[in-house]
Structure 1
């Protein structure tokens, strides 16, 4: 089930938004166009100062000047400066030592002494943006050869670098009572997603990156969600310009459409589970060193429109400052301050019912996170506090995620986590305060059950995870969740943050239900994975009284290929 819905609009609001976009389009295009012109001017100027040598059949003799020019050529092995994906919560330590690391390795009897160097994680879901996939190992002449090598890191002249890539997935899903609807309607459907990107660098100074996406749904029994389809659009379209080097680390500015991913992804994620992924448009500056990653950004979320070129949401502004410190290998500290301004006017009925998280708010989030491992002992602790205004009410809300895990020194790489997740709720929407936590733009599907019926808002989640690798190319993941409402009078919110069910009297109790999730990932080869999953929820008192007789579950099979 998809876990990132775009809030529904009335026809009138949609018309107003389109009219606003039409009025603002020339200004926006001029800004982006100006950025591209500046980038191309920089490229042209640099290229003019380094003309390509003239081809000649006359033998030449190397001179000191020739040697000097060769020494002045930029070392393209440093491009691009990759932002390594941060460890999520519930992370696991990969298999190591001798073994078959793909199905193809096993078929060809290619037993390896250690895991191969590869750009993709051996799993069907990959939240890492395409522009942060690391292919720099190709500059090592001894790298393992691959059929797609010729379209990667193509050296044009001495200072230019061009790469192409993409992916395709197919998923079949069958849902029972998946949307907790009283009618008990089931849903089965097919998802198709195609992505393709081109990446051009001049030295480490200027980057142009464009990524196309086409996402479709077929055969659904229920109306598609906004995140199910996006026909022929741009997922990423940006320019990077290097501003300086500070303490041996580059500083860049990025302008345009771009995905964002930070920390545990509890608050900001690309959301790879859904067919369309999540993207933004705006400006980001970032600084990278071995010890620090520091980002500052202003963006607006994109509104997915199936048949039109996606537009940014002019009623939302998202600001952030995020720093990650890596004091030593295996450990990290996240520090962040985020602000979301959502000026969408809510209907009076929403305000009256206390369903006020989706508009009329200026909310700030202050948080930090510690995560890492001491040998086989795994740990994570994250705390988030929110303050500001929401529909005229003072906001005071918080969330905590904590857990410990351990990898056992046994065959099949078994690992387990015991965790507790909490996000505050509101007991009275008329007391002048709003205490419900806002999960912002999360990877909800990863943390709070794969059915996506529960979001990080007004919830207690006591959970555990167990993983193992029966063979290095097979990953088994199981989770158990026991959900309770943090406040019995507040809503149950789904993974998209939308209010779904509520008992204003609190008489339905707080026990939402229990959920178990199972996943098998089969790593076929460097480019291909097959993911099989099943999840089941047993209703607690709250669900039994709110939607009697439901028994939700989800089965899915997914095939993914990347190049």
Structure 2
């Protein structure tokens, strides 16, 4: 309870102390950058110009060590207070009423020693209170640990190009975060230990990675490298012809898991993924198409899996509230025969924690999903989104999985394909640059597969959170 009051106190104090600056801040909003998903991606060198120091926290965002100002320290952090409530969690595999609180805190320091050397460190504290059965493994509780800690060594191989080697503990996020993500939704975010080589030239970006995921544990400074898993590969982003106003991603990713589990059984898994993504954010028509094929070994069997994902949106300029009408259609393969050693189940690697919804009931393996939605942009920076997800099994010989590729329901006892549907309503209010409030309600309507494979009650889900960043 004291933690929640401290967050409220921080927000209230900020609003009181920064009130005289609000008019200035609004007038110069285009020159004030927004906070990044990965705080290590932020750049505060623009604060060398004293006239641009208009924010309450600007005095700690750029602390120069020398006259040139290229040796400097930047500090920042985040506090998030969240409440979640489930009625019939996992379709009644837990008690009917299950409400609990989640708190998350970040604090980071970013030190630049000129243009070529950089040190970044970020601590995370994630806490849980009141959940029936205690915190869920890896995603609810991590009392205090080093979330990121890396060294950057940079050089300029050409006038407009940069090459950076990043070594240490770091976040990774690529594309739409369907495959590699920071896992923002859950209380504990994902990081990796290893190396990342980054080449940048205008709109061209090429990364090479060789990492192992960090294994999140509950207590203080007990997170370590997971020796049973490895992730490596190359990810590139480049512009398409100007007339298309689009971009393309091409990538190869390798995954090793020492003890992988699917509906078929347990075995070592070595999986290779090659994919392409075509995307455009320009209105009125935006799109995001992704195609991926996987091969490798699962025990003595061969892997052959795939996924196709699409998100197409249209935003007519003449309508009030700047609506975006969208349709997502996604499909991922499932295993065709549990008695055969070969495996066709798609593995989403390290996807975003809220792949379909913040409730995380279903993950992106062995599914067909259709999701129409509408997004409205209301006054005062309020966004209202309504959508309805429909789910089927791609293969009736495989079960359904969560985002961590953990089997939720076996498919061995029913041939029903339809899983169910989930309408959802989301409210998001960017109160100001530092404060965001979100509220979500979802209702999962259980279909024949769930009712025939185990408990099959409808699920109600409510969550709300307030985030403060500085």
- The answer, yes or no, to whether TM exceeds 0.5 is yes
Residues 112/407 of structure 1: CA separation in 2 closer, same or farther (3 Å cut):
farther
Q: Which has the larger radius of gyration?
A: 1
Corresponding residue for 2:363? 455
| Cα offset, 1:529, TM superposition | 1.1
The answer (yes or no) to whether the contact 1:337–1:367 under 8 Å persists in 2 is: yes
Corresponding residue for 1:431? 340
Corresponding residue for 1:168? 79
Corresponding residue for 2:248? 333
Matched residues in 1 for 2:108 and 2:245: separation?
A: 31
Return the match for 1:302 from 200, 214, 230.
214
Return the match for 1:278 from 184, 190, 194.
190
Return the match for 1:481 from 379, 389, 400.
389
My pick for the range that moved more, 248-257 or 321-330, is 321-330
**Aligned positions of 1:201-216 closer than 5 A:** 201-216=112-127
Higher-strand-fraction structure: 2
Q: In the alignment, does 2:294 pair up with 1:379?
A: no
Matched residues in 1 for 2:160 and 2:183: separation?
A: 32
Q: TM-score, normalised by structure 2?
A: 0.89
| Cα offset, 1:354, TM superposition | 0.7
Q: In structure 2, the residue corresponding to 1:245 is in which secondary structure?
A: coil
**Aligned positions of 1:332-411 closer than 5 A:** 332-344=247-259, 354-356=264-266, 360-409=268-317, 410-411=319-320
My pick for the range that moved more, 521-530 or 137-146, is 137-146
Corresponding residue for 2:227? 314
| Cα offset, 1:491, TM superposition | 0.8
The answer (yes or no) to whether the contact 2:251–2:274 under 8 Å persists in 1 is: yes
Corresponding residue for 1:119? 33
My pick for the range that moved more, 137-146 or 182-191, is 137-146
Residues 246/362 of structure 1: CA separation in 2 closer, same or farther (3 Å cut):
farther
Residues 421/390 of structure 1: CA separation in 2 closer, same or farther (3 Å cut):
same
| Cα offset, 1:480, TM superposition | 1.1
The answer (yes or no) to whether the contact 2:422–2:442 under 8 Å persists in 1 is: yes
The answer (yes or no) to whether the contact 1:299–1:319 under 8 Å persists in 2 is: yes
Corresponding residue for 2:173? 261
The answer (yes or no) to whether the contact 2:426–2:441 under 8 Å persists in 1 is: yes
Matched residues in 2 for 1:184 and 1:219: separation?
A: 13
| Cα offset, 1:212, TM superposition | 0.7
Cα deviation 1:322-347 (Å, max 9, x = unaligned): 00103459522100000001123x6x
The answer (yes or no) to whether the contact 2:25–2:54 under 8 Å persists in 1 is: no
The answer (yes or no) to whether the contact 2:288–2:310 under 8 Å persists in 1 is: yes
Matched residues in 2 for 1:396 and 1:247: separation?
A: 43
Q: In the alignment, does 2:328 pair up with 1:419?
A: yes
The answer (yes or no) to whether the contact 1:193–1:213 under 8 Å persists in 2 is: yes
Return the match for 1:288 from 191, 200, 203.
200
Residues 115/545 of structure 1: CA separation in 2 closer, same or farther (3 Å cut):
farther
Q: Which runs of 4+ in 1 moved over 6 A?
A: 107-111
Matched residues in 1 for 2:372 and 2:102: separation?
A: 29
Q: TM-score, normalised by structure 1?
A: 0.75
Corresponding residue for 1:191? 102
Residues 331/208 of structure 1: CA separation in 2 closer, same or farther (3 Å cut):
same
Question: What is the aligned-residue RMSD (CA, Å)?
Answer: 2.3
| Cα offset, 1:223, TM superposition | 2.3
Residues 496/181 of structure 1: CA separation in 2 closer, same or farther (3 Å cut):
farther
Corresponding residue for 2:12? none
The answer (yes or no) to whether the contact 2:414–2:452 under 8 Å persists in 1 is: no
Matched residues in 2 for 1:190 and 1:373: separation?
A: 35
The answer (yes or no) to whether the contact 2:142–2:218 under 8 Å persists in 1 is: yes
Corresponding residue for 1:145? 54
Matched residues in 2 for 1:556 and 1:183: separation?
A: 17
* Structure 2: 5+ residue stretches without partners: 1-17
Residues 182/162 of structure 1: CA separation in 2 closer, same or farther (3 Å cut):
closer
Corresponding residue for 1:248? 160
**Aligned positions of 1:42-121 closer than 5 A:** 116-120=30-34
